[in-house]
Amino acid sequence: MAEDLTIDPDWAWQPFTPSDSRQWDHVAAAHLYRRAGFGADIALLDGAARRSPRDVVDELVSLNLETSEFRSVADSLAQTLLAGGDPMKLSAAWVYRMLFTPAQLLEKTTLFWHGHFATGADKVKDASMMWRQNQLLRRHALGDFHALTQAIAKDPAMLIYLDSASNRKSHPNENFARELMELFCLGEGHYTEADVVELARCFTGWEIRNNRFRKNRYQHDDGEKSILGKRGVFDGEQAVEIVISKDDVPRFICRKLARYFIADELQWTDDLIDVPARTMRDHGLQIAPVLRQMLSSNLFYSAHARARKIKSPVELVIGMLRGLRGTTNSQRVAQGLRAIGQGLFYPPNVKGWDGGRAWINSSTVLGRANLFEQILSDGNTRFDGESLTQYLAGHDVHDAAEALDHFERCLMAVPINPANRQSLIAQFGSLGNDHEKAYRRLLHAVCSLPEFQLA
């Protein structure tokens, strides 16, 4: 494979400039929308292909806030679902957002932070707290990593998840302090056990009362601490700042962003990741400039990145729906995502989802196919408000072969392999009497193919 070759970092992060050999077309645009968002329908792709890649990326990055109109609809749906108090229902509200948001990159990055600052509703239990954390992540998703980390350090759901709802000086709880360094900012191996113990002292007195963060000064250890080579009478905010200001932070975050947005299995060496890490540092740990650089880069549009990710469950299902302007029962999608390994608000543990090959095992392979079966056998699943047959006819699709072309164009990072195409045509070549049923079964089969799982 290509990644055996060393990638020249200078080339990698230069802006991609279309040429005859490396075109900006609807295939490249589909790649961008699959990664920077959850996918795009044919009209959006055609429109993007007529603009420059820089314009399209700039637009994705600049939509760093939801429109107030969309926000009020999405929020009121969440509030309605919150009334039941069940975090699983809340998960459907997030599905709705992913399906309809005009600010795709914002939402995709919010999901990134949910996997990064992973917090599970199975332990927190309080749906409204999970909702507040979700809003917090969205507010800061493309913003400032300082502000995000300081905010998450005081977030009630996070503190309950990491057992720091009541942190007393007599015996500090180490859980949050450890994960702040190991999983949120620095990475394992960039701190010592003594740093964990000392850092934990800084957070003593932090607690959650009546579902709100507060400081209990009687429980704060105001002695001198020594953290990561610095010594002083630090409180929690200062402790967070000391951790964030370490040189390791931009590399740690950029490496994770690169894996999420560009490729699961590239060797993200220090040499390669240094350029975006510098961008992040030079911009005071702002996230948006890093993503703009990544999504506009030579590397992003190269063979190192194309089809070099395995779709997460969210990318898989929301991608299919967005690609065909599909709508369906959000509650079922939310439950289905959980069944195949990506329950929104239910990450597997504080490390979040590992992604890549870890998404795939025999249960999830069957589960992915079965979830599409459920969605597509439901008459309430519509495409641009119509039946699949009507939707396809509207795009001048009238038989199985044309349908396969359309699905490939909107949904797939690699073409359907010839043997599979042959089998599908053999089975669906004559659609029979019930076109709707046949098209849906064809789409179900396509979505279940190994090549469909690539992004």
Partner 1 sequence: MFDQPTNRRRFLYASGSTAFAIGIGSALPDCFAQAAESATSDGERILVVVQLSGGNDGLNTLIPYRDDAYRAARPTLAVPRSDVLTIDDDIGFHPSLRSIKDLLDGGQVAVVQGVGYENPNRSHFESMDIWHSCVRKDQRRTDGWIGRTLERFTSAEGGDVPALHLGGQQQPFALASQSIRVPTVKELDEFQIRGSDPAALRRLLGGSPSVAAVEASDDDLLGFLQSSTQNAISASRRVTEAAQGYQTEIDYPESQLGRQMRLVAQLINAGMKTRVYYLQLDGFDTHAQQDATHAILLRQWSDAVSALINDLTAQGHGDRVCVMTFSEFGRRVAENASAGTDHGAAGPMFLCGGGLHAGLIGTTPRLDDLQQGDLKHTVDFRSVYASVLKDWLGTDPDPVLAGHYDTLPLFAGA
Query: By the criterion CB under 8 A, which residues form the site for partner 1?
Result: 1, 162-163, 165-168, 170-175, 178, 182, 188-189, 193, 196, 264-265, 307-310, 339, 341, 348-351, 354, 357-358, 360-367, 369-370, 373, 377, 414, 417-420, 423-424, 427, 437, 441, 444-445, 448-451, 453-454
What are the tokens at 189?
């191996």
Between 170 and 433, name the residue whose CB sits nearer to partner 1: 170
216, 207 Cβ separation under 8 angstroms: yes
Smallest gap, in angstroms, from Cβ of residue 451 to partner 1? 6
Between 3 and 282, name the residue whose CB sits nearer to partner 1: 3
Smallest gap, in angstroms, from Cβ of residue 164 to partner 1? 8
Smallest gap, in angstroms, from Cβ of residue 170 to partner 1? 5
Between 140 and 306, name the residue whose CB sits nearer to partner 1: 306
Smallest gap, in angstroms, from Cβ of residue 403 to partner 1? 16
By three-state DSSP, how is residue 38 classified?
coil
The secondary structure of 198-258 as a DSSP string is HHHHHTTTEEEETTEEEE-GGG---S-EEETTEEE---HHHHHHHHHTSTHHHHHHHHHHH
> In degrees, to the nearest 5, what angle opens at C-alpha 342 toward C-alphas 27 and 360?
70
Smallest gap, in angstroms, from Cβ of residue 353 to partner 1? 8
Between 41 and 207, name the residue whose CB sits nearer to partner 1: 207
CA distance 274 to 280: 10
By three-state DSSP, how is residue 454 classified?
strand
Q: What is the DSSP letter of 386?
A: B
Smallest gap, in angstroms, from Cβ of residue 26 to partner 1? 22
CA distance 78 to 92: 8
What are the tokens at 153?
């350090």
Between 42 and 454, name the residue whose CB sits nearer to partner 1: 454
Query: Could you tell me which residues are beta bridge partners of residue 343?
Result: 346
Between 36 and 340, name the residue whose CB sits nearer to partner 1: 340
